[in-house]
Amino acid sequence: MAKSYSCPKCRAILNPHDDITLIAQRDGEKFLIGFHPDPGNYEAYLPSDLRTEKGELWCFSCPVCQQDLASDEEGELCELELQEGVEKLRVLFSRIAGEKATFIVGPDRKVTQKFGPDAERKSHQLAFMKYNLD
Ligand SMILES: [Zn+2]
């Protein structure tokens, strides 16, 4: 089923075709980044001359309203809205380069799915137990 991602601030669709396009920023550099629409697939599309370093904290913002997409509850994560069929969900993923941790959060703020080899460790490290992690 097609996944539609949108900005939690302005509601603009962030994957009009397939990949999710965001503005990425680190150390004064600003560029567009494309993410694979399947949670847990960490393929990312970057300008070819860009070098990334593991452990860097990246800022992601919406290409339409330009607002910061860091989660209000847990700033190390980026938060997007995800609609799949009639289901309205939130997806949170790590803003740290090289860290593979993605969480799907249901309407009751409960984490329903986790993806990535770092998700388990991350979920214990973060204060977002208010999300009712199982
Ligand atoms: Zn926006």
pLDDT in tens, 12-69: 999 999 999 999 999 889 999 999 999 999 999 999 988 888 999 999 999 999 999 9
Give residues whose Cβ lies within 5 Å of ion ligand 1. 7, 9-10, 12, 62, 64-65
Residue from 77, 81, 79 nearest 95 by CA:
77
Cα of 12 vs centre of ligand 1, distance in Å, is 6
The whole-model pTM stands at 0.91
| Residue 40, CA distances (Å) to 43, 91, 113, 114, 126 in order | 9, 11, 10, 8, 19
| pLDDT at site 108 | 79
Task: Extract the tokens encoding 36.
Answer: 């694979």
In the chain, where the domains are located: 3-8+17-131
Cα of 55 vs centre of ligand 1, distance in Å, is 26
Cα of 78 vs centre of ligand 1, distance in Å, is 13
